[in-house]
């Protein structure tokens, strides 16, 4: 399991997501429920906690363009 740090693109809420798959394969965007918006929204991946070193790793923000996110609407 990897702890990803994600941010809602609608309200800006940041939170952590524990998943067993690599979000980089989704171009660092994921469509899921936001507890603040109370609807499913696009979330941008800000980074992740490396399961081996425990260090926080920031993802390349150039790969998280809004244009890339729109494909998942
Ligand atoms: Zn939200």
- In order along its 73 residues, the chain shows pLDDT tens digits of 889 999 999 999 999 999 887 888 888 899 999 999 999 999 999 999 988 898 999 987 655 455 545 444 4
Q: Check residue 22 and give its pLDDT.
A: 83
Q: How far is the CA of 69 from the centre of ligand 1 (A)?
A: 15
- Would you state the pLDDT for residue 61? 63
pLDDT of residue 62: 58
- How many angstroms separate the alpha carbon of residue 13 from the centre of ligand 1? 6
> What's the 7 CA to ligand 1 centre distance in angstroms?
8
Catalogue the long-range contacts made by 64-73 (C-beta closer than 8 Å, 24 or more residues apart). 64/27, 64/28, 64/29, 66/9, 68/27, 68/29, 69/9, 69/29, 69/42, 69/44, 72/26, 72/29, 72/31, 72/42, 73/42
Global confidence as pTM: 0.75
Cα–ligand 1 centroid distance for 43 (angstroms): 8
Taking the centre of ligand 1 as the mean of its atom positions, its distance from the CA of residue 16, in whole angstroms, is 13
- H helices of 1-73, in order, are 66-69
């Amino acid at each position: 399991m990897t702890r990803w740090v994600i941010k809602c693109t609608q309200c800006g809420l940041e939170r952590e997501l524990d998943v067993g798959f690599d979000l980089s394969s989704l171009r660092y965007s994921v469509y899921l429920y936001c507890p603040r918006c109370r609807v499913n929204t696009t979330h941008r991946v800000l980074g992740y906690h490396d399961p081996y070193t425990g260090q926080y790793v920031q993802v390349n923000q150039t790969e998280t363009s809004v244009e890339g996110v729109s494909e998942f609407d």
